[in-house]
Amino acid sequence: MPLSLSFIGGGNMARSLIGGLIARGHAAANISVADPVAAQLELLKSTYGVNIAHSNVEAAQRADVIVLAVKPQELRNVTQGIAKELHATSKLLISVAAGIRASDIERWSGGAPVVRCMPNRPALQGCGMTALFAPSKVSAEHRKIAQDILNAVGATLWLTDEPQMDVVTAVSGSGPAYIFLLIEMMEDAGVALGLPRDISRRLATETAYGSGLMAREDTESPAVLREQVTSKGGTTEAAMRHLESNRIRVTFAEAISAAARRSAELAEEFGKG
């Protein structure tokens, strides 16, 4: 991919994308990063050999593709701050900020093509899941560029309706936290029942890892896989019965709905002006 890329924001998501791109052969010399935290920039430079941009404007000037890797509340000011550098050019904007609509980013930028993405934290290990959305006027070439960049850190899929991005944010964007909570609870329960913490943690993490691989690779649905583990009258059935009697499905559905609502609220809070 012989394109010049600039990342505005040098946090975890930028780091994971940069690492993935370089691992797939993208030249570090073609990547620049701007971030207000000097230590963050020095870390990226020393780790990956990328270029440091001393301002967002400088980063935008250098790049064919600009990845906006900042918090939702910062996105408007950042985008408006580089709008002059985008005027009358075909620079592509890729946003990984939660909640903020592509139409708002396009308006702030003065009409630049925008692809909105929602990666998740496992991108740091190259096994993330990213959903992408682009308005209809974004070209096939720009769509391919965006997908190629996000493919560097895991699997990708396209959405046809932007409101679905709020649900994606709730399911996969926030999803790793749900899995980590499950691992944490399994570990703590094992310790409470007498296991050493290191053993309980190993059991919980490896079980989550293996189960995820099975769900990913097996042709059966997760429901069928669960049933295959749940022998009638056995230990797993006792656990499942307790969880179901405590409304685990309802509670979990309500939690994901709360996350989706918050994603939509972010657009209203920070997507105006």
Look at residues 166, 200, 218 and tell me which one is the last residue of a structural domain: 166
204 in a structural domain: yes
Residue 192 has pLDDT above 70, yes or no: yes
**120 and 212 fall within a common domain:** no
**121 and 182 fall within a common domain:** no
Domain CATH code at residue 183: 1.10.3730.10
Residue 22 has pLDDT above 80, yes or no: yes
CA angle 268, 150, 106 (to 5 degrees): 35
End-to-end CA distance of the chain: 35
Per-residue pLDDT of 129-179, as tens digits, reads 999 999 999 999 999 999 999 998 899 999 999 999 999 999 999 999 999
- What percentage of the chain carries pLDDT values higher than 70? 99
109 in a structural domain: yes
Residue 88 has pLDDT above 80, yes or no: no
Residue 2 has pLDDT above 80, yes or no: no
Contacts 24+ apart (CB under 8 A), 249-258: 252/178, 255/178, 256/170, 256/171, 256/174, 257/170, 258/170
Comparing 1-10, 160-169, 182-191, the range with the smallest average pLDDT is: 1-10
268 in a structural domain: no
**150 and 187 fall within a common domain:** no
265 φ/ψ sector (left φ>0, alpha ψ -120 to 50, else beta): alpha
**146 and 179 fall within a common domain:** no
Residue 188: predicted pLDDT: 98
270 in a structural domain: no
Rounded to an integer, the average pLDDT of 96-125 is 93
222 in a structural domain: yes
Higher pLDDT, 272 or 174: 174
Q: pTM for this one? A: 0.90
DSSP designation for 30: G
Rounded to an integer, the average pLDDT of 249-259 is 97
Q: In angstroms, what is the C-alpha Rg of the chain?
A: 21
Cβ atoms of residues 109 and 83 within 8 Å = yes
195 in a structural domain: yes
Residue 180 to residue 116: CA distance in whole angstroms: 26
**76 and 34 fall within a common domain:** yes
Residue 63: predicted pLDDT: 92
**257 and 144 fall within a common domain:** no
**154 and 196 fall within a common domain:** no
* Maximal CA-CA distance, the chain: 69
**15 and 132 fall within a common domain:** yes
151 in a structural domain: yes
Domain CATH code at residue 42: 3.40.50.720
Residue 228 C-beta-side C-alpha neighbours within 13 Å? 10
Q: By C-alpha distance, which of 66, 115, 69, 117 is closest to 89?
A: 66
**85 and 60 fall within a common domain:** yes
Look at residues 146, 166, 186 and tell me which one is the last residue of a structural domain: 166
What is the residue type of 138?
V
Which residue shows structure tokens 């029942």? Answer: 193
Cβ atoms of residues 68 and 94 within 8 Å = yes
Look at residues 144, 166, 188 and tell me which one is the last residue of a structural domain: 166
Averaged confidence pLDDT in the chain: 94
**38 and 19 fall within a common domain:** yes
Two structure tokens written together for 140: 């096939």
| Domain housing 75 | 5-166
**31 and 135 fall within a common domain:** yes
Domains in the chain, number: 2
269 in a structural domain: no
Cβ atoms of residues 145 and 156 within 8 Å = no
**123 and 235 fall within a common domain:** no
